């Protein structure tokens, strides 16, 4: 017993970095279990939600006899657009709600509000990539080839959209906690954002003067870049700018981190 006490006395205290990683690991496991086992067949709904959207849109485009969009098959065009936008939407929405869902954990001084947002964003990014892979392989059974000819371009597009989702979650998690009414307005704004990002109709079909305004939205660049990586025959918009996608994402992350640092005490007290 005495030897054990002497050993403990000489043990080095844990560094801040090791404590942070331990907190992130615990939060990740907690979030993963909660996300997959939250209710009956919760894990199945993660996959069914995008599949139902894809099937509905493919049936709609089939009905209007639109078999090809900008050089690639309509099914591949839709799947690339829907899954890439889902990377942003799921990451941003789940990260935005992290503080409200994990408020009870802030009584532990090791857990900071920003930790819950970062971990949720990482979990949703992983789940979105996994679901995208499953959907892409499943599409092959219906003769829809969405396996990328340029995987690096697809990864760069998805990662850029994930960065914007993380930035969105960091910024909005603070703002909606301080002004809760804004959350409802933001939810309403998500639907038109879905449309103006070129997910279900090609922005290239619009006049250049009008398209110029829509391309202020960085998500449109991410969705378009994902489609570029799907097929060498895809005719991308000439205004496509991957750098703008990353600049916007990193700027929003820095802004979100600054907000969390400034309002850290207020977020814990709420």
- pTM of the entire predicted model: 0.89
> Quick check: is 190 in a domain?
yes
In a domain, 23, yes or no: yes
* Per-residue confidence (pLDDT) for residue 9, from 0 to 100: 43
In a domain, 4, yes or no: no
User: What residues make up the domain containing 21?
Assistant: 13-269
235-251 tens-digit pLDDT: 888 888 999 999 999 99
Domain count for the chain, please give it. 1
pLDDT > 90 fraction of the chain, expressed in percent and rounded: 35
Q: Is the pLDDT of residue 37 over 80?
A: no
Report yes or no on 7 lying in a domain: no
Q: Are 86 and 120 in contact (CB under 8 A)?
A: no
- Tens of pLDDT, residue by residue over 138-157, are 888 888 888 888 899 999 99
Residue 1 placed within a domain: no
Q: Residue 87 falls within a domain, yes or no?
A: yes
DSSP string, 187-245: HHHHHHHHHHTTSSS-GGGS-HHHHHHHTTSHHHHHHHHHHHHH-TT----TT--HHHH
* 74, part of any domain: yes
């Amino acid at each position: 017993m005495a030897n054990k006490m002497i050993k403990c006395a000489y043990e080095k205290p844990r560094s801040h970095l090791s404590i942070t990683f331990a907190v992130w690991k615990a939060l990740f496991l907690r979030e993963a279990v909660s996300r997959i086992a939250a209710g009956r067949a919760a894990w199945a709904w993660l996959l069914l939600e995008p599949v139902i959207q894809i099937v509905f849109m493919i049936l709609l485009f089939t009905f209007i006899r639109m078999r090809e969009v900008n050089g690639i098959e309509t099914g591949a065009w839709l799947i690339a657009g829907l899954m890439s936008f889902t990377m942003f939407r799921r990451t941003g929405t789940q990260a935005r709600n992290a503080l409200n869902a994990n408020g009870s954990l802030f009584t532990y001084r090791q857990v900071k509000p920003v930790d819950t947002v970062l971990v949720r964003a990482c979990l949703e990014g992983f789940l979105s990539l996994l679901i995208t892979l499953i959907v892409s392989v499943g599409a092959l059974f219906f003769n829809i080839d969405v396996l990328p000819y340029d995987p690096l371009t697809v990864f760069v597009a998805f990662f850029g959209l994930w960065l914007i989702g993380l930035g969105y979650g960091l910024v909005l998690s603070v703002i909606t906690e301080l002004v809760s009414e804004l959350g409802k307005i933001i939810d309403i704004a998500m639907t038109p954002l879905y449309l103006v990002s070129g997910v279900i109709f090609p922005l290239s079909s619009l006049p250049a003067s009008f398209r110029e305004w829509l391309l202020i939205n960085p998500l449109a660049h991410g969705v378009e870049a994902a489609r570029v990586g799907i097929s060498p025959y895809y005719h991308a918009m000439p205004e496509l700018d991957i750098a703008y996608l990353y600049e916007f994402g990193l700027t929003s992350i820095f802004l979100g981190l600054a907000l969390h640092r400034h309002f850290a005490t207020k977020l814990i007290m709420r």
